[in-house]
Amino acid sequence: MTAPEADLFGWSVAPFTGGGYTHDVYRKGAGPGVVLIPEVPGIHPGVLGLGNHLVASGFTVAIPSLFGEPGRPVTLGYTVATLARACVAREFAAFATSKQRPVSLFLRALARDLNALTPGNGVGVIGQCFTGGFALAAAVDDSVLAPVLSQPSLPMPLTPAQRRDPGLSESELTAVADRCANEGLCALGLRFSEDKMSPGERFAALKARLGEAFEVIEIYSGPGNEYGFGRMAHSVLTDEVREVDGQPAYEARKRVVEFLTQRLSP
């Protein structure tokens, strides 16, 4: 059994401009809005499989194409080349600590736009891997009610400071923490226990700031784990999902849908 995948069938596309940037955005579905930010190398078949699952679960999904070629299957060479380009892009500030990333301004604008077009009082934002922390940065805007951080990997965790860094600026984190304390905002974080790209120190730092408002799902991927996750297991909601009850990544995907439904229902 393999992870769910899909193609671009049924997705509409149009450019969207916000925060000084323009990217194509793929949209599909009806119901409350969810911004699904792709992981590197882009809107690959696994991301589209996740998008279709969210659509089938009753959401309007908007996927911004921030890098890569939409619909293109993942290969090692394609992933490495895309990652290399993304790492040097000012928009993402891949190595900076305590940094407001320019892409967050685009994502907040997209969240506001999606909120205006969909039912309910706000939208969800799912970030993954390279874009995982962008979901929390988007939650500075009050249109975002349900940020989901799946294996957030920025800044690249090369030093202890980078491993501890939450992936957004201090002012952004303070704004999110204030929303958690005063508005009932909650966030959901997902990672594999042995994932060096998404270090446990990052989740510990976020938990210290957000407290009970930050729900963490950590899937054990150490030696001899029951479900055979490799030591490089990384993509909780795409590559590692097997649609079998009890499989931890599948159960994590179920929890994401439940979280979005609870937070976004009109």
Would you state the pLDDT for residue 235?
96
Instruction: Write out pLDDT tens, residues 167-193.
Output: 999 999 999 999 999 999 999 999 999
Would you state the pLDDT for residue 218?
98
Are 100 and 72 a contacting pair, CB within 8 Å? no
Q: What whole-number distance in Å separates Cα of residue 47 and Cα of residue 60?
A: 15
Q: What whole-number distance in Å separates Cα of residue 132 and Cα of residue 164?
A: 15
Domains located in the chain, CATH noted: 23-264 (3.40.50.1820)
| Structure tokens, 148 | 């989901």
**Model's pTM, two decimal places?**
0.96
Q: How far lies 105's CA from each of 19, 62, 110, in Å?
A: 5, 16, 9
Q: What whole-number distance in Å separates Cα of residue 114 and Cα of residue 135?
A: 15
| Residue in this structure with the two tokens 């699904």, named with its chain if needed | 36
Instruction: Write out pLDDT tens, residues 34-83.
Output: 999 999 999 999 999 999 999 999 999 999 999 999 999 999 999 999 99
Are 109 and 19 a contacting pair, CB within 8 Å? yes
Backbone angles phi and psi of 49, in degrees to 5: -65, -40
- Mean pLDDT to the nearest integer, 227-252: 96
Percentage of residues in the chain with pLDDT exceeding 70? 100
| Structure tokens, 45 | 């078949």
* Closest C-alpha to 144, from 165, 114, 168, 172: 114
Mean pLDDT of the chain: 96
| Structure tokens, 205 | 């730092």
Would you state the pLDDT for residue 266?
73
Instruction: Write out pLDDT tens, residues 136-171.
Output: 999 999 999 999 999 999 999 999 999 999 999 999
Instruction: Write out pLDDT tens, residues 97-142.
Output: 888 999 999 999 999 999 999 998 899 999 999 999 999 999 999 9
| Structure tokens, 220 | 């054990």
Q: How far is CA 208 from its chain centroid? A: 20
> What's at 72, amino acid-wise?
R
- The H or E element containing residue 264 is helix 248-264
User: Which residues are CB-contacts of 264 (< 8 A; sequence separation ≥ 6)?
Assistant: 32, 33, 34, 59, 120, 122, 123, 124, 145, 146
Are 11 and 27 a contacting pair, CB within 8 Å? yes
* Closest C-alpha to 62, from 22, 32, 21, 104: 32
